[in-house]
Amino acid sequence: MTGLHGLHVIIGGCVLGYVIYLMKVNKVNKTDFVMLENAGLYWHLVDLIWIFLFPLFYLVL
């Protein structure tokens, strides 16, 4: 499970890096920020899932 989480963190980091690149070339700005929101939602979804899975698998079982 930790390796799967690490894979998703790497993917999320790459997506966030790509969004930062898009911000520098002005494709993500204050009127067009859907890609930034989606990258943030993905990052926090991985975080929330890990918050529930870690105690379930490593502390309870």
Burial state string for 17-27 with b = 16 or more CB within 10 A and e = fewer than 16: eebeebeeeee
Q: Does residue 51 have a pLDDT over 80?
A: yes
Instruction: Tell me the whole-structure pTM to 2 decimals.
Output: 0.77
Q: Read off the pLDDT band of 61 (50, 70, 90).
A: low
What average pLDDT does range 27-47 have in this prediction?
93
Q: Is the pLDDT of residue 9 over 80?
A: yes
pLDDT at res. 49: 86
What's the chain's average pLDDT? 89
Residue whose pair of structure tokens reads 């997506």 in the numeric block:
15
Please tell me the predicted confidence (pLDDT) of residue 1.
65
